[in-house]
Amino acid sequence: MLDQRNLPDMLLTLDGERIETADRWLQRRRPEILDLFREHVYGRETVGRPSTLEFDTKVTPNMLGGIAVRKQVDIRYEGAGGTGKIRLLMFLPDNGQEPCPAFLLLNNRGAAHMDPEQQAPSPFWPAEQIVARGYAAVVLDVEDADPDFHDGFRNGVHGIFDPSTGERPANAWGTIAAWAWSASRAMDYLETDPDIDAARVAVVGHSRGGKAALWAGAVDERFALVVSNNSGCTGAALSRGKKGETIRNINDQFPHWFNGTYKTYNDREEHLPVDQHMLLSLIAPRPLYVASATNDEWADPRSEFQSLVHATAAYRLFGCKDLTEMNFPHPEEPLLRERMGYHLRSGEHDLKPYDWDRFMDFADQNI
């Protein structure tokens, strides 16, 4: 059921046009909402695909007990402030045939969850389970693009592409936007790989990685499916009426994640020209999956679910069913609808094999 929270009307443009068709949405309102998120929340990127981008690939057969081929791809770039590198690790089903769909994980938990051939298998990143279902399992460490601490934007892509010593504009991009940018650079590579069906790539992230996955999916329409796991505040969850983490909490604890302007909304969420259902609406009409966990009160499962339900307004323009009558589901009772999916898992704030299985069930139907 729709719960009313005085949200901005996603179908009303700033100059008062009521959006009633998919065409008007795509021409007018979608670009306007994207711009509002850049200006007020995630910040404006100063670079897209760098002209210096290079890929360096190493292939190893016979991985994951013989079911996969591993590719290690170093994505290199250079800007006025120096050079950088994102390392992609890919495990591809070794069936030597058709290009396959892929899951790209924006890994926010470091080296222990990258390469199952080097570390103990990780329930957070079950590459073998993903490959066994016919998907390429592709992962990058978000901290390759920008380390996750506040150093005044000197390290990572900010230092490489906007090394100016002057004052940073209040709308300059933060770390979440940098991580989303790295997902797009991974996509630049995947488009060149004949083993990958680049029209069927899902971007997935957990928690802070989930915020980045949603922003990546909003900015870069090449992602065919977007999956948010427990992304919470300034991810999937509505900010108005949210329990647990607030805009003030997140800005105080992680001042580098969002732009300077976002700080002006501490304790003033009702003044934001957007709310997070509008972030989800930017994915439409592409498939979108949101997952929550029962004990994750800091993220606030109900606010994540409500955001998805409110995002239906955009999906409806594309002929998708109205989900506003849907009730908040019981744990382990996934809602798999046309282009929109949701589940609530019992347990803690985490990414588990149960979550991955539901993401793949949804992908099987939708990409």
Residues that bind ligand GTR in the complex, under the rule CB under 6 A: 108, 207-208, 232-233, 245, 250, 253
In the complex, the smallest distance separating the C-beta of residue 259 from ligand GTR, rounded to whole angstroms, is 16
In the complex, the smallest distance separating the C-beta of residue 110 from ligand GTR, rounded to whole angstroms, is 12
Catalytic, out of 158, 182, 207, 256: 207
Active site residue 207: yes
In the complex, the smallest distance separating the C-beta of residue 26 from ligand GTR, rounded to whole angstroms, is 31
In the complex, the smallest distance separating the C-beta of residue 287 from ligand GTR, rounded to whole angstroms, is 23
Is the Cβ of residue 246 or residue 312 nearer to ligand GTR in the bound state?
Answer: 246
Is the Cβ of residue 208 or residue 286 nearer to ligand GTR in the bound state?
Answer: 208
> Is the N-terminal amide bond of 285 cis, ω within 30° of 0?
yes
Is the Cβ of residue 162 or residue 350 nearer to ligand GTR in the bound state?
Answer: 350
Q: And the tokens for 102?
A: 């892929």
Is the Cβ of residue 143 or residue 245 nearer to ligand GTR in the bound state?
Answer: 245
Of 184, 277, 293, the residue nearest 235 (C-alpha): 277
Is the Cβ of residue 148 or residue 188 nearer to ligand GTR in the bound state?
Answer: 148
Q: How many CB atoms lie within 10 A of CB 39?
A: 17
CB-closest chain residue to ligand GTR: 207
CB 192 within 8 A of CB 258: no
Is the Cβ of residue 107 or residue 306 nearer to ligand GTR in the bound state?
Answer: 107
In the complex, the smallest distance separating the C-beta of residue 69 from ligand GTR, rounded to whole angstroms, is 31
Q: What is the CA radius of gyration of the chain?
A: 19
Of 258, 257, 195, 182, the residue nearest 223 (C-alpha): 182
Catalytic residue set: 207, 349
